[in-house]
Amino acid sequence: MATHVKRAFKYRFYPTDAQAAELSRTFGCVRKVYNLALAARTEAWALRRERINYNATSVMLTAWKQTEELAFLNDVSSVPLQQCLRHLQAAFTHFFAKRAKYPRFKAKKRTRKSAEYTSSAFRFRDGKLTLAKMPEPLDIVWSRPLPKGTAPSTVTVTQDSAERWYVSLVCEDPSIKPLPATGTAVGVDAGLDHLLTLSTGEKITNPRHERHDRTRLAKAQRHHARKVKGSNNREKARRKVAKIYAQIADRRRDHLHQVTTRLVRENQTIVIEDLTVRNLLKNGRLARAISDAAWSEFRSLLEYKAHWYGREVIAVDRWFPSSKLCSTCGSLQNKMPLSVRSWTCDSCGTTHDRDVNAANSLLAAGLAVSACGAGVRPQRSTPGGQSAKKQEALRRDP
């Protein structure tokens, strides 16, 4: 692993009216250039079977700026416009490698507002950050210090749906080093009644953040639906709904950070189940609860923290019958309905808690696969996945 890990430090800031206007213009120009480049690349392939790369779109950007119709692109910093072309190139790279779908056009209301600045477009001195085209530094709330002796390489400014402004600074963090080896391993079974069940027998409660605020959220949504479309009052009501959603997401993310950090610190090897959450969300009865549990975000946080600190995350194949397999003798039960929360093995007579047994079975399978050196990292998604109903049934009752 590299000596220093690049890490993003995210802070909230409060722009002046002039800064907010400049950033809003930049967001609009970034979206416009991205859509123009995507349309040009799509048209070139559809009509002439010609592939256009980043260099060609960069030349196009220069030509667009010289037209009367798109002359407004000169009013903002050129760096975020170039960066969005690089992001489009990365999106096509992932598409051709079959890691992602075809890039979509950016919509004003649906797409996250963001602009990325490289070192040539910002100045960071004495703890103050000044962006290009802005005479004054940003009023940033420094909730935690940046690593000493480092300077940001890129700065990304975003505005969420609740109209909160954030700036993310990417720096090298020399404090991130592999933790001392512990020699311990744990199996983790994800669920809804309990967010996580560990092979140690510990069950981590599912906070159900969305359910906690469901009444308040429903009231705000009804209030929003009654307003006249396009009115200022409807926009105010929309911001109230977005604020509630943002609070739910913040609490959920904070809880997942605490859980994943603890798992990485305490265990050398962590075995999880490879779930296709996208397919599970097609189950209309459980989709809301699955979304609130945020299993995909849990896995993402766990994997990058394990990479940082020298731990190992093993993902067992999603079709592995963890719930039906006796973790004591290894016999496989014929049936295991989801309603059965505890069961007794017909072969050895051991009584199991369903989730604890699944975690222990995952741990044993993960360690065995790791020792063999095969199948440790199954694909997170496969083309032509199974239906959500079958996926859920086989996850709990293979």
Query: Which residues are part of the catalytic machinery?
Result: 189, 273, 355
CA distance 329 to 100: 41
Q: How many CA atoms within 13 Å lie on the side-chain side of 165?
A: 17
Question: Quick one: CA torsion of 195, 208, 297, 90, rounded to 10 degrees?
Answer: 160
Q: Which pair of structure tokens corresponds to residue 194?
A: 């309990």
- Number of other CB atoms surrounding residue 387 within 10 Å: 11
Q: Which of 247, 306, 229 has its CA nearest to residue 272?
A: 306
Q: Which pair of structure tokens corresponds to residue 277?
A: 């959450």
CA distance 116 to 317: 37
Place of tokens 């056009």: 105
CA distances from 384 to 91, 273, 274, 387, 393 (A): 21, 20, 16, 9, 17
Place of tokens 């950033």: 23
Q: Which of 366, 190, 356 has its CA nearest to residue 268?
A: 366
Q: Which residues pair with 9 in a beta bridge?
A: 169
Q: Are 241 and 224 in contact (CB under 8 A)?
A: yes
Strands lying side by side in the sheet with 203-205 = 203-205, 194-198, 185-190, 269-273, 312-316
Per-residue burial over 215-226, b if 16 or more Cβ lie within 10 Å, else e, is eebeebeebbee
Q: What share of the chain is helix, strand, coil (3-state, %, to 5)?
A: 45, 20, 40
Q: Which pair of structure tokens corresponds to residue 191?
A: 């669920």
